[in-house]
Amino acid sequence: MQLTPSQLAQFNNDGFIILHSFVDTEYCDAILNVAKEHLEELIEPIETELGYGSRSKLYRTNVIDYNSKTEEKHVVVRRLRQVYDRDSLFKAWMEEKKIRPLLEQILNDKVVLTTAHHNSIMTKMPYISSDTGWHQDRRYWSYSNDNLVSVWLALDDETDENGVLEFIPGSHKMDFKVEQFDEKEYFSNTYEPNKKTIATKVSKNLTKGDVVIFHSLLLHRANKNSTDKAKMSFVYTVKGEETKANKGTRSAEFPEISLEVIK
Ligand SMILES: O=C(O)CCC(=O)C(=O)O
């Protein structure tokens, strides 16, 4: 399976592409079942809702032995981290061959899994989760260039009510100034000059099994979850082989997995 020239042009133009019904329901359910066990047992490393919102830029860039233990008594999980090593099912999805040719096309390079950053099951718990502000995934990562994309799998339907993803098409190619971002590098929605850009956002409802591939510089956000059921999504990041993690940063402290070329 390959992207058509017009799909590839769409990715290059918009910074994201949605592959509808890419993964079947049974596979999503199997991943969900394992993820739910890890959530019930609170298997570390876990990032909590509090940790997700309150950590400094320095922490997010440098700390590698993160876990939730010291943070709070009643843990509200925001993501299960380091999922590649948690279960063969998670590993299998991250190494799935069907998506590889598309990633090769998009990266125009050999595909390498990064386990340092998005290597997670994102969870948005009912009612108590927060909005996710406008951000670029790349902001806390440290690489020689920006040729990285995140692969988002909707393990269940994602709607306005439970935390729909929103994107600003083309923002991966825009030049931004430091003052357009707040101290945690969220793209400020109160800064007047940003409002015109934010007005171009698109909201993308997802159905269980849909996959979104998006550029590491693409501005995106998500609503909080106002339903009584957790929103769960699997997200991992790949880079081109030519893209190198900068030494001495978190990006360089976790293994990378080079994936065999599949045409
Ligand atoms: O809140 C969400 O579901 C989106 C999370 C996200 O984009 C991120 O953590 O990078």
**For residue 221, what are its two tokens?**
């956000």
| Full domain range(s) for residue 118 | 5-258
Cα of 107 vs centre of ligand 1, distance in Å, is 22
Amino acid identity, position 167: F
Residue 126's pLDDT band, with cuts at 50, 70 and 90, is confident
The pLDDT of residue 184: 84
Ligand 1: atom nearest CA of 79 is 9
Ligand 1: atom nearest CA of 163 is 3
The pLDDT of residue 221: 97
Residue 154 to residues 22, 92, 123, 187: CA-CA distances in angstroms?
A: 10, 16, 11, 24
Residue 139's pLDDT band, with cuts at 50, 70 and 90, is confident
Cα of 25 vs centre of ligand 1, distance in Å, is 22
Probe ligand 1: pick from 139, 141, 221, max atoms within 8 Å of CB? 221
Residue 98 has pLDDT above 90, yes or no: yes
pTM of the model: 0.92
The pLDDT of residue 157: 97
The pLDDT of residue 127: 77
The SS3 call for residue 168 is: coil
Residue 160's pLDDT band, with cuts at 50, 70 and 90, is very high
Residue 63 lies in a domain: yes
Residue 263 lies in a domain: no
Residue 247's pLDDT band, with cuts at 50, 70 and 90, is very high
The SS3 call for residue 66 is: coil
**In degrees rounded to 5, what are phi and psi of residue 79?**
-155, 145
For 171-205, the pLDDT digits (tens) are 999 999 999 999 888 999 999 999 999 999 999 99
Read off the CATH number of the domain in which 87 is found.
2.60.120.620
Cα of 79 vs centre of ligand 1, distance in Å, is 10
For 224-244, the pLDDT digits (tens) are 999 999 999 999 999 999 999
Per-residue pLDDT averaged across 211-234, rounded? 96
The pLDDT of residue 213: 98
- Do the strands 16-19 and 211-215 form a parallel or antiparallel pair, or are they unpaired? antiparallel
**In degrees rounded to 5, what are phi and psi of residue 88?**
-60, -30
Cα of 235 vs centre of ligand 1, distance in Å, is 9
For the CA atoms of 177, 183, 185, 191, what is the dihedral angle to 10 degrees?
A: -60
Cα of 158 vs centre of ligand 1, distance in Å, is 12
Residue whose CA lies nearest to ligand 1 atom number 4: 222
Q: What is the count of structural domains for the chain?
A: 1
For 35-62, the pLDDT digits (tens) are 999 999 999 999 887 666 656 666 666 6
Cα of 47 vs centre of ligand 1, distance in Å, is 12
Residue whose CA lies nearest to ligand 1 atom number 8: 137
Ligand 1 cavity residues, CB under 6 Å: 122, 124, 132, 137, 163, 220, 222
The pLDDT of residue 70: 54
Residue 25's pLDDT band, with cuts at 50, 70 and 90, is very high
The pLDDT of residue 179: 95
